[in-house]
Structure 1
């Protein structure tokens, strides 16, 4: 199953102006809805004088083509803000990204076509200013094994190109291994006779 996706590696900004209104866009790399909520709360506090803080996000979810997503108009006419922002995320083929657009009203109504164009243009500018990066969805698993099995475990990890950390070697050894989600079940099956997989794991998409 697909476990690779394209995201952004850095926060970026964009700007669009029309008839006195300013649309300030922010693009953030994110990996959870909790991060999204925290960032929107932070932006809302930072721009307390703004009329709207509209946003959209898409988060990669292993095994689900569309992942997790949401488009929020924050009081703008339905479909004029969140959806155009999400459209730019999808046009760029990105996941694990939040794009929020802060609007400062300039006193002149833009109408539905004008709003769609403004939010779309601001989002596109922020996305264009961000560095793109390909990522692999992974999960960290803690494994335990005997000292006698250490050479085999180390050899297997090296052969599979896996990353390990927090190694502890004694009579009973342990380490944490980062496994691509698409290979998880296969690797567990190959190692389960020689190691014990602890239940606690942390997805690090």
Structure 2
């Protein structure tokens, strides 16, 4: 898995078209549960609105299984789909867009809706600060107290981190290592321990 960009922080934009007010909200969201929570949060924050259309890329930008959208009562294909198209064009992963609409009494028509929803997301995307995310795999490794210091050093050398340490008769470390450096970490651990220690994958 390759590194990709995610939103560094939420952003908000707004616009008015033919007396309808559109509030565009973008937020980092990892996984579909985070997406659902963000959509609900904005429903709760704007109880007087008539539509809460949304689109998401809940994982890496190229993972088509983690895409989603909703027109939330707008004519099919005129809201969520153009919003998703803008998100996909941004190259971002783990991002959700919600557009809250307060109806102004004037119908916008198909072209007007696509422009409002898709264009609104495009406007908000210009405000986004990006952060690089390097996908990692998690492992367990059991070691003696005398081995911990050089294992910690090895993990840092490969760009990883110790997530958790449990101390008992031996030390059990939960470590996260960038996917592209797992083979290097395994080799270093094998060499340093003369084959006695290994990384045990943790199912995600």
1:132 aligns with 2:130: yes
Of stretches 69-78 and 147-156 in structure 1, the one that deviates more from structure 2 is 147-156
The 5 Å alignment of 1:48-197 reads 48-61=47-60, 65-150=63-148, 152-167=150-165, 171-184=169-182, 187-188=185-186, 191=189, 193-195=195-197, 197=199
Which stretch of the first structure deviates more once superposed, 26-35 or 187-196?
A: 187-196
Query: Alpha-carbon deviation of 1:17?
Result: 1.5
- Cα RMSD for the two superposed structures: 2.5
Q: For 1:60, what is the secondary structure of its paired residue? A: coil
Can you list the C-alpha shifts for 1:62-92, whole angstroms capped at 9, x where unaligned?
9x64351101111111111111111111121
Q: Tell me the residue number matched to 2:3.
A: 4
What secondary structure sits across from 1:50 in the alignment? coil
Describe the shift of the 1:150–1:98 C-alpha distance in structure 2 as closer, same or farther (beyond 3 A).
same
Per the TM alignment, residue 171 of structure 1 is displaced from its structure 2 partner at its CA by 4.7
Q: 1:17 and 2:10 equivalent?
A: no
Partners in 2 of 1:132 and 1:155 — Cα distance? Answer: 29
- Cα displacement string for residues 79-131 of structure 1 (whole angstroms, at most 9, x for unaligned residues): 11111111111121111000000011110000000000000121112221121
1:14-56, Cα deviation, whole Å (9 max, x unpaired): 1121100011000000111111111111111211111100000
CA distance in 2, matches of 1:26, 1:57: 12
Greater strand content: 1
Structure 1, unaligned runs of 5 or more = none
- Whether contact under 8 Å (1:84, 1:119) holds in the other structure is yes
Is 1:167–1:175's contact at 8 Å kept on the other side of the alignment? yes
Q: Distance in 2 between the 1:171 and 1:58 partners?
A: 44
The number of aligned residues is: 200
For normalisation by structure 2, the TM-score amounts to: 0.85
| Larger RCO, structure (CA 8 Å, separation 6 or more) | 1
